[in-house]
Each structure stands twice: as C-alpha cells, then as structure tokens.
Amino acid sequence: MYDFHCHTTYSDGELIPSELIRRMAYTGYTEMGIADHADFSNVAELIAAQKRVKRSAELYGISLYTGVELTHVPPTEIDELAHLAKSLGAEIVIVHGETTAEPVADGTNHAALSSDAVDILAHPGLITEEDAALAAKNGIYLEITSRGGHNRTNGHILSLGRRAGASFVIQSDIHAPGDIISEDMRYITARGAGMTEAEAKTVLSLTAEDILNR
C-alpha cells in the first residue's frame, strides 16, 4: 500500500515522523511520503528534516519518499517553488488543489497542472474539463481522497479525469492516527468515488516508481 500525502508535527499533523511511519507500517503500508504544508518560508527545512528519518523508515520496512505539499501558494509562484523543492531533494511534489472546503486561490489547479515539477494535484475540487485534460497531457496524478470535506468532489474529479484520460491516486491526507485507513477502506474510497473494480485494483496497485517515472 502507498500514501504520499501525510502530515506530521512539522505542519498541522499530530504525529512526529517516526510515530507516523511506525503506524503506517503497522497498518500494512510499504511506501509513503511525508508531504507537510510548504511555501517559500519552510520548504528547505521540511525536506532536510525528512531526509533525517529515511533510515528509521527503512528499519520499519517503509520506503519513505521525501515530499512537500505546496499549500495556498499564489498560483504564479507554484512552478518556481515546485522546481525549488525538487532541487532541494523533494522526490514527490504535491500541490494543495482547489478543494471546496477551503478558500484556495483560483487558478491553483491550472498552475499546478502546468508545472513539470508537480507530481500530484491533491483534492482539486470542481476541476474543469480543461484542467483534467492538462493533467492527462502532463502525466500529473489527480487525487481521490478519503479525507472529510475534501472528498465531497471525488465523483466529479473521477468523472472528468476519466473522460480526459488522466491518472489517479487514492490517498488519505493523513493528519492524525485516525486518518490512516486500511486496505479495505482504500478500496471502498475508490469504489465510492465511482471507480469500477478493475479501475480500483489498478489505482491501488500503483507504486512510487509509477508516479515518478510517468
């Protein structure tokens, strides 16, 4: 199992990295990414901190991928910050999309999907057909999430993304121990969004290598 959208006490999560990693391993995850909320003020510190716990993750049987979630960053700065994150060692760059649960700036989805340094657009809300097509064209994964509030538009994201030929990931946007979901709940999240059984199995069997070598 994978989940590259996990938060720790380095942003608004409840767990330090090692406890989160241990709980993920206990639940059955083998690949994960810590993607704390980032902007220009903290991106370097977040990436450096994650590198220091990679060995701990390995000892628990977890492949930890260094990541960030660019959050409420002005759209015109997203590409620059995404490239900076990659240059500092981020392996997976996520952008906090235009969820209907928060006042994310208009144009965030489009800016993220236009950047060749972005890997995943998280909870993109009422994504447009144009941006769904851009996700497909640029190989950027659209997130289907189990997180309350953000998951209101899962069906819409899947419908437009599927029509455009975009790719998807199932993630939990973990902030607290109770947000870590089981393999069965991941399947239910996929099916509840409207995926067929075959689509769900394909998406749930993704690896970090699939995403990074898109």
Could you tell me the domains of the chain?
A: 2-212 (3.20.20.140)
CB burial of residue 36 (10 Å; 0-12, 13-18, 19+): buried
Report the predicted TM-score, pTM, of the whole model to 2 decimal places. 0.97
> What is d(CA 138, CA 174) in angstroms, rounded to the nearest whole number?
26
Q: Rounded mean pLDDT of 190-201?
A: 98
Looking from the CA of 207 toward its CB, the CA atoms found within 13 Å total: 6
For residue range 17-28, what is the model confidence (pLDDT) as tens digits? Answer: 999 999 999 999
Cβ neighbours, 10 Å, residue 77: 14
Q: How confident is the model at residue 180 (pLDDT cuts 50, 70, 90)?
A: very high
Q: Which of 96, 106, 112, 110 is nearest to 149 (CA)?
A: 96
Residue 214 in this model has a pLDDT that exceeds 90: no
Residue 72 in this model has a pLDDT that exceeds 90: yes
> What is d(CA 76, CA 18) in angstroms, rounded to the nearest whole number?
34
For residue range 79-89, what is the model confidence (pLDDT) as tens digits? Answer: 999 999 999 99
Q: What pLDDT shows up at residue 213?
A: 85
For residue range 145-168, what is the model confidence (pLDDT) as tens digits? Answer: 999 999 999 999 999 999 999 999
Q: What pLDDT shows up at residue 80?
A: 98
Q: What pLDDT shows up at residue 46?
A: 98
Residues of the chain with pLDDT > 90: what percent?
A: 98
For residue range 111-132, what is the model confidence (pLDDT) as tens digits? Answer: 999 999 999 999 999 999 999 9
Sign of CA dihedral 160, 164, 169, 175: negative
> What is d(CA 97, CA 141) in angstroms, rounded to the nearest whole number?
12
